[in-house]
């Protein structure tokens, strides 16, 4: 994928809310857990009508998602209300159109969610949690692909996943291609966060090196200055319990992957 999917994400959001503007946002690849973020996979159960959201000028539609994998502070089987937000030309959070939400994430579809709890983190028993995907934050609401290649420790095979991003085959910009690539990007964000957690428990040095080597293909590294992306990946490798020679190999492999772009 030659262009950063983050740029595509911006175009999709602006087009989906019928705005044209110059808002630009860039989120860097993390090197460890991000405070306050929750992430999980689940199945869409219901579409909800727009409701007020603190910090957003207009009511926002949402979807009810039932977890199929454990999330941060959430158990499998729990139901969560997910409120995805876009941005207006002034970079302020704005709701999606209800028709866009129901079209892109229909009932029954599997989604990956990266967001933050809305309001009190310790609600009364029986109260459904609300998670907001803020446009200025990391990640969003992705569609889970039907088939996903993984490495032995369970992480996404980021090298293989790169090939699933689509080149636009049309003479003009395609909203549909952009949406699919954006949803791939949000799913990849979820998988990167999951892998950051997974590698903390990997004991085998060889398996850890393979996992970190695959993480070097994460698409967000393509969206920032090469010096910055090298530094971020280097910090990720430094955290790993590996021999110096392995860390050197990983950083050299990262440079070989991304210097060509």
Q: Which tens digits make up the pLDDT trace of 29-86?
A: 999 888 899 999 999 999 999 999 999 999 999 999 999 987 777 888 899 999 999 9
Q: Are residues 201 and 253 in the same domain?
A: yes
Q: Are residues 31 and 116 in the same domain?
A: yes
Go through the chain and tell me how many residues it has: 261
Q: Are residues 213 and 132 in the same domain?
A: no
**Left if phi > 0, otherwise alpha if psi is -120 to 50, otherwise beta: which for 36?**
left
Q: pLDDT tens, 119-140?
A: 755 445 457 899 999 998 998 9
Q: Are residues 31 and 130 in the same domain?
A: yes
Q: Are residues 25 and 101 in the same domain?
A: yes
Tokens of 26: 């860039």
The answer to whether the predicted template modeling score (pTM) of the entire model surpasses 0.85 is yes
List C-alpha distances in Å: 163 to 1, 33, 99, 147, 261: 7, 26, 30, 13, 15
CATH number, domain of 128, equals 2.40.50
pLDDT value at position 65? 97
CA distance 243 to 240: 9
CA distance 48 to 59: 11
Q: pLDDT tens, 219-240?
A: 999 978 899 999 999 999 999 9
Query: Is there a domain that residue 13 lies in?
Result: no
pLDDT value at position 182? 93
Q: Are residues 133 and 175 in the same domain?
A: no
Res 1 pLDDT > 50: no
Neighbours of 62 (CB within 10 A): 25
Query: Is there a domain that residue 1 lies in?
Result: no
- Indicate the SS3 state at residue 185: helix
**What's the domain range around 105?**
20-143
CA distance 175 to 170: 11
Q: Are residues 192 and 122 in the same domain?
A: no
């Amino acid at each position: 994928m030659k262009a950063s999917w983050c740029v595509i994400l911006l175009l999709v959001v602006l087009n989906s809310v019928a705005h044209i503007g110059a808002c630009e946002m860039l989120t860097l690849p993390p090197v460890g857990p991000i405070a306050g973020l929750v992430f999980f996979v689940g199945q869409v159960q219901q579409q909800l009508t727009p409701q007020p959201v603190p910090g957003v000028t207009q009511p926002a539609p949402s979807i009810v998602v039932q977890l199929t994998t454990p999330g941060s502070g959430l158990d499998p089987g729990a139901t969560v209300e997910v409120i995805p937000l876009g941005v207006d030309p002034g970079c302020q959070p704005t709701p999606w159109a209800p028709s866009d939400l129901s079209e892109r994430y229909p009932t029954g579809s599997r989604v990956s969610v990266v967001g933050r709890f809305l309001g009190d983190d310790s609600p009364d028993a029986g109260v459904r949690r609300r998670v907001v995907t803020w446009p200025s934050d990391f990640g969003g609401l992705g569609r889970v692909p039907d088939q996903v290649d993984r490495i032995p420790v369970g992480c996404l095979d980021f090298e293989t996943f790169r090939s699933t991003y689509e080149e636009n085959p049309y003479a003009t910009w395609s909203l549909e291609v952009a949406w699919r690539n954006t949803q791939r990007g949000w799913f990849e964000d979820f998988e990167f966060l999951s892998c950051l957690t997974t590698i903390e428990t990997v004991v085998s040095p060889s398996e850890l090196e393979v996992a970190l080597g695959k993480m070097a293909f994460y698409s967000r590294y393509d969206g920032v200055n090469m010096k910055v992306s090298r530094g971020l990946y280097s910090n990720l490798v430094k955290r790993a319990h590996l021999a110096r020679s392995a860390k050197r190999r990983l950083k050299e492999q990262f440079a070989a992957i991304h210097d060509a772009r």
